[in-house]
Amino acid sequence: MKKRTQAIILAAGQSTRMITDLPKVLHEVCGRPMLAYVLDACRQAGIARMLVVVGYQKEKVLEAFPDEKGVQWVVQSRQSGTADAVKTCRKHLKDWRGNTMVLCGDAPLVRAETIKTLIATHEKESSAATLATAVLDDPTGYGRIIRDAYGNLEGIVEEVECTPQQREIREINPSYYCFDNQALFAALSKVKPSPKKKEYYLTDVLGVMVKQSRRLAAVTAVPPEDVLGINSRRQLAAVSEVMKFRILDRFMASGVTIVDPDNTWIDARAQIGQDTVIRPFTFIHGRVRIGKGCQIGPFAYLREGTVLADDVVLGVFTEVKNSQMGSGTRVRHLSYIGDSQLGRQVNIGAGAITANFDGEQVRQTIVGDNAFVGQGSVLVAPLKVKAKSQILPGAIVEAKGNCNGQKETKRK
């Protein structure tokens, strides 16, 4: 019978090597904090409860995830290593009789499929601890997997503790663990601080379990690209590049044409309908929804809150922020549409913009169906343009009373 699995996610670190005041797990990868990807992978693998260990600037982490379902936040007051971080969860898991997964919150490339494989292997082998490992051409920086002559897992040695012979091992530990929960916490109590760094390593749990004659297992299930760690801004960029292409591949597999993937950036949270074409140098950021059969770009910028119905065209150098557009609407050239609702079959001429900020408040513009907005026009919010209206090129359109009680102005 399969056991249920809960997860501990380690997210307490600062990352001094990144030279940052921001908690490491809040640095963004393709528009989202890296921790968000780990939480998503756990949920997709069927893990409903996650204990997230926070420490450095924990308030910022909690603020970034205000309503996260299935998450319990656990505070590690003093960062003394990964084993110490897991120990902080003891009181929440002391009676748990199932599996406990341990993952790092700064590993956004983790896949749900890898987690499922790890859990399945753990169940099949009936082991006290199971690892998902990877084989790298260059294992520098990672803990090495130690096996006996029969291939059985004996433990992990951190690189700083490796002998010259152990440094030649290419099978590494990317820190994906699945434990029998009771065996995990029994072994944690016997872990001693490392002689060099004086920290408590979770990897030392395996050595304790070997001495206790517990069964260990390992499965080589982590693709090399998923192992990429983030300890510098350069590594953050490298991981973001991998994630970017994963996102683009997902859209293309669902029927979206991306003309030039190398020069297109799409947020992980975006939704795009079938047969939409995304042209080069398009940037889509935030929770943007695009319907079917749309034409976007080149050089288009879509921001948070934008919703496009089917058959919308956004052309070269157009920017849209927090706005909705009905089917058949066209905004082809050099326009800014902010905080607006455009109906169906609206035509926005080249260079026309909505002026949505009056220096104090952001205000809304509403344009009815089949309206025509001439080239170079300025629509000053708050404003309602009736259906089928025609606004002359170069007009400045304001509602009555918009500006110190002045009447509606339309100037050519």
> Known catalytic residues?
333
For residues 70 and 239, what is the distance between their CA atoms, to the nearest angstrom? 26
35 vs 152: CA distance, rounded Å: 32
- For the packed helices 204-211 and 181-188, what is the interaxial angle rounded to 10 degrees? 100
Question: Phi/psi at 152 (nearest 5 deg)?
Answer: -80, 145
CA–CA dist 93, 179 (Å, integer): 12
Q: What is the CA radius of gyration of the chain?
A: 27
Question: HSE (CB half, 13 Å, CA atoms) of 1?
Answer: 3
Residue found under tokens 């291939």: 151
Residue 139, preceding bond cis, omega within 30 degrees?
Answer: no
Ramachandran region, residue 310 (left: φ > 0; alpha: ψ -120 to 50; beta: rest) = beta
In angstroms, rounded to a whole number, what is the distance separating the alpha carbons of residues 19 and 232?
A: 8
Q: How far apart are CA 401 and CA 67, in angstroms?
A: 41
Residue at 172: amino acid letter: I
How many C-alpha atoms does 387 have within 13 Å on its Cβ side? 5
**14-44: buried (b, 16+ CB within 10 Å) or exposed (e) per residue?**
ebeebeeebbbbbbebbbbbbbbbbbebbee
Both tokens assigned to 160: 């700083």
Give dist(CA 34, CA 394) in Å, integer. 45
Nearest to 257 by CA among 269, 273, 281, 241: 273
Strands 283-284 and 265-266 turn out to be parallel
Helices 112-125, 34-44: crossing angle, 10 deg rounding: 50
